[in-house]
Amino acid sequence: MRAVRPTARARLALLHTGLVLAAGVLLTALTYLLMLRGRQHQETRLERTPPGGSGPGPAPDRELAELTELARSAAQAEFLTQAAIALAVVTALAAVLGWLVAGRVLRPIRTIAATAQRLSAENISERVPVTAPADELATLAGTINGMLDRIQQGIAERDRVLAAQRMFTASAAHELRTPLATVRTAIDVTLDGRPSTAELLAMAGDVRTAIEHGQATLDGLLMLARSQAGTPEARPADLAEVAAGALEAAAGPAAAGGLAVRAELRPAPVTGEPSLLERLAGNLVDNAVRYNLAGGRVAVATGTEADASRVFLRVTNTGPRVRAAEADRLLEPFVRGEADRTRADGGAGLGLSIVRAIAAAHHGTVVLTARPAGGLDITVRFPARPPEAPTG
């Protein structure tokens, strides 16, 4: 049978009672010893003093000695009896006071334990009350509350991440299901009867467009995953050269739209994976050209900031007005602007999210601002590549 372990309150009360009992016994023993020593000293003086008080004389007679011994024994017995009674009373009072004091001292700990028992993954908002004075128990309560705050923040962050992942998965499934549904509809409608050559060609065009859309979505998802995986091959690069390549690739669509392109490319040395940086610049320039007005403008600038610690790539364009509240959401996957939703050549909504992922993989930041006159102003900043040490 398992022995019953006394509670902390009982152990504290027993400890307090034991200390008081030990102190009482020690005090009684010292008092008794001092009393015996005093009596022995007094008897020695009596033995050395004659009845007339003139010097040493004969010892007291037997009767007086016996009376003296009886009186001393009675006094000692009375003292021990009274001391035992007093010690018992004090010990009992110490036990009661020890029990009450232990309960009061342990009350904050019981409160902490009760609060911890009420907490759960669904209810973690309750906190341990911190009372004055600012002693060790108050410090313990504050430490537990701080730990609960961190746990609650972690749970909230976990829920936010899980919600974002669920939204991303649902959006990706929708984007991939849409072209499949388009293909199936085109085939079912065309083959419902005896289609002509023109109808088959039209169906083939619709199927091709849907497949290209699905392929673009898959490519974007793969690039997004690659960007979020980090930069396995970091090599020296220059944002000015990367931006120049992106402008050259977009020269045809820009000319077709009658856009005025202005480039101000100053050296912006970075360390990163060139293919990812090229995709970042390409997405920014492609968006600036695609979502623009006829005869609008595109401006691309690179350079090093004043403190030489960071470099930047800035792309601005004219275009439809974007609400300020909508601008930040454009960096999320599968989020499109109002203009993108109404365009036949609208993308999958992954371009700017890929830009943000690539920037984060290179320890950079993306700042997107809606221009009051229309269009966007996007600036990407990276840590500058340290200058190379001179050789020789």
Q: List beta partners, residue 313.
A: 302, 380
**56-60, 102-106, 174-178, 318-322: lowest mean pLDDT where?**
56-60
Q: Which of 271, 204, 260 is nearest to 236 (CA)?
A: 271
Q: What is the CA radius of gyration of the chain?
A: 46
At a CB cut-off of 8 Å and minimum separation 6, what does 41 contact?
none
At a CB cut-off of 8 Å and minimum separation 6, what does 199 contact?
190
Query: Distance (Å, rounded) from C-alpha 365 to C-alpha 383?
Result: 10
In this prediction, residue 388 has a pLDDT band, given cuts at 50, 70 and 90, of low
Greatest mean pLDDT among 168-182, 202-216, 241-255: 241-255
Q: Which of 349, 59, 27 is nearest to 220 (CA)?
A: 349
How many residues can be counted in the chain?
Answer: 392
Tell which wins on pLDDT, 378 or 54: 378
Does residue 259 carry a pLDDT above 80? yes
In this prediction, residue 270 has a pLDDT band, given cuts at 50, 70 and 90, of very high
Does residue 140 carry a pLDDT above 70? yes
pLDDT, mean of residues 39-43: 62
Greatest mean pLDDT among 179-188, 263-272, 358-367: 263-272
In this prediction, residue 212 has a pLDDT band, given cuts at 50, 70 and 90, of confident
In this prediction, residue 344 has a pLDDT band, given cuts at 50, 70 and 90, of very low
Tell which wins on pLDDT, 207 or 171: 207
- pLDDT of amino acid 241: 95
pLDDT, mean of residues 42-63: 55
Query: Distance (Å, rounded) from C-alpha 247 to C-alpha 298?
Result: 10
Does residue 363 carry a pLDDT above 80? yes
Average pLDDT, the chain: 80
Tell which wins on pLDDT, 213 or 309: 309
- pLDDT of amino acid 150: 87
| Residue boundaries of the structural domains of the chain | 8-47+62-118, 235-383
- pLDDT of amino acid 342: 42
Distance (Å) of CA 83 to CA 27, 33, 77: 10, 13, 10
Q: Which of 96, 83, 94, 108 is nearest to 29 (CA)?
A: 83
CATH label, 235-383, candidates 3.40.50.2300, 3.30.565.10, 3.40.710.10, 3.40.50.1970 = 3.30.565.10
- pLDDT of amino acid 69: 74
Does residue 260 carry a pLDDT above 90? yes
Does residue 283 carry a pLDDT above 60? yes
- pLDDT of amino acid 272: 87
Amino acid at the residue 15: L
**33-37, 40-44, 243-247, 303-307: lowest mean pLDDT where?**
40-44
In this prediction, residue 389 has a pLDDT band, given cuts at 50, 70 and 90, of very low
Tell which wins on pLDDT, 384 or 233: 384
Residue 289 near residue 250 (C-beta atoms within 8 A)? yes
User: Cβ–Cβ contacts within 10 Å for residue 62, how many?
Assistant: 8
Query: Distance (Å, rounded) from C-alpha 340 to C-alpha 352?
Result: 13
In this prediction, residue 229 has a pLDDT band, given cuts at 50, 70 and 90, of low
pLDDT, mean of residues 341-357: 66
pTM: 0.56
Query: Distance (Å, rounded) from C-alpha 264 to C-alpha 21?
Result: 91
Percent of the chain clearing pLDDT 70 (strictly above): 79
